[in-house]
Amino acid sequence: MTKLLESEGALEMGGEIREVSLIMSDLRGFTAIIAEMDPEDVIIFLNRYLSRMIAILLDHRAVIDEILGDGILAFFGAPEPLEDHPARAVACALSMQAAMDGINAENEADGLPRLAMGIGVNTGSVVVGNIGSERRTKYSVVGSDVNFASRLEAFALAGQVLISAATFSRVSDLVEVDKVLTAEMKGLPGQATLYDVRGISAPYPIRLPDKSEKLKKLPERIGVRIHRLKDKIITDATGRAWVTHLSDTAAQVTSEDALEAWEDLRLAFLDDNQEPTPGHIYGKVTRVTPLKDGRFEVLVSFTSVPAEIYRTFRHDPGPA
């Protein structure tokens, strides 16, 4: 960015096609979380998160394009050419996720909710340059690969870094991949291959800690009320459903209604009177299996869990 500011004509309108690596991040369930908070706490809450993320991005030499509430778009490889921009972007995304434990420790100490973030990383050709007018302009990127980064981020679960096939092809010898996923993305033909990355080796060595993902059977199933989410808006409730298995990161649910893979949900546990208990879990459907009795076995991976509910997950819920 210093090079951009020092160059003659740096503020002239115009652009060029460059290959860059893009990071898109977003907090899971953030809109619902802040709806129940005081405005002063929201600002403390959000600024704590953003200050940590911005520092990490700048340390990795990212250009921060936009901060939209809790969402961040940043890119690597322009205006300063960086031959290692794919590896640098992946390392930066992993560092951002690794910082969330410290942020949440501070939040819990202040009585504030936990935060969970999903990140997508994509590499591709974009138009980059000063966009706007003579009165207001900013150095930014546009193009289909920016849109793809946004769609990729939407598939990322809490604590997850998903990278595209284009990025993976440039860092395959450096990264540790936990899972390889396929997904249909709106507006794109066929299926996209996504890589769930947990670590990267030198020169940017970092690895995310392992989380307990093994589902454990509950001694007794727990009733749960499920609402679908569409564009972050709570919509219709599904039929009856029960949680039968649980881990730190997911729940196995038996549902009377069919649910679609990758749709977003809000879950509330029910008490003995079939009334919702305090707190909501937000999640994404990652697997649906029809059962012989006409019901469905659904795997819901969590995207946001309130601190008070998360603490109960730390105790052994039952036999494996």
Q: Answer for the pair 300, 286: CB distance below 8 angstroms, yes or no.
A: yes
Could you give the CA distance from residue 115 to residue 104 in angstroms, rounded to a whole number? 6
Q: Answer for the pair 225, 115: CB distance below 8 angstroms, yes or no.
A: no
| Predicted local confidence at residue 6, as pLDDT | 47
What's the fold here for domain 17-207?
Answer: Alpha-Beta Plaits (3.30.70)
User: pTM of the predicted model, to two decimals?
Assistant: 0.82
| Predicted local confidence at residue 14, as pLDDT | 62
Residue type for position 7? S
Residue 274: CB atoms within 10 A of its CB come to: 9
**3-state SS class at 195:** strand
What's the fold here for domain 216-313?
Answer: Thrombin, subunit H (2.40.10)
Which residue stretches of the chain have pLDDT < 50?
1-11, 317, 319-320
CA trace torsion 84, 139, 95, 158 (10° rounding): -120
- List CB contacts of 127: < 8 A, sequence separation 6 or more: 15, 16, 17, 141, 142, 143
- Give me the half-sphere count of Cα atoms (radius 13 Å) on the Cβ side of residue 220: 5
Q: What is the pLDDT of residues 173-228, one digit of tens each?
A: 999 999 999 888 877 778 899 999 999 999 999 999 887 668 899 999 999 999 99
| Predicted local confidence at residue 143, as pLDDT | 94
- List CB contacts of 83: < 8 A, sequence separation 6 or more: none
| Predicted local confidence at residue 4, as pLDDT | 45
Domain limits, CATH 2.40.10.220, in the chain: 216-313
Please enumerate, as own/partner, the contacts of 185-188 that have beta carbons within 8 Å and a separation of 24 or more.
185/148, 185/151, 185/152, 185/155, 186/151, 187/147, 187/151, 188/148, 188/151
Cα–Cα separations (whole angstroms), residue 179 to 50, 164, 193, 213: 28, 13, 11, 13
| Predicted local confidence at residue 313, as pLDDT | 63
In 60-176, which ranges are continuous DSSP H helix?
A: 85-98, 100-109, 144-155, 165-171
| Predicted local confidence at residue 315, as pLDDT | 54
| Predicted local confidence at residue 214, as pLDDT | 83
| Predicted local confidence at residue 103, as pLDDT | 94
Q: What is the pLDDT of residues 242-252, one digit of tens each?
A: 999 998 788 99
| Predicted local confidence at residue 242, as pLDDT | 96
| Predicted local confidence at residue 304, as pLDDT | 77
Domain limits, CATH 3.30.70.1230, in the chain: 17-207
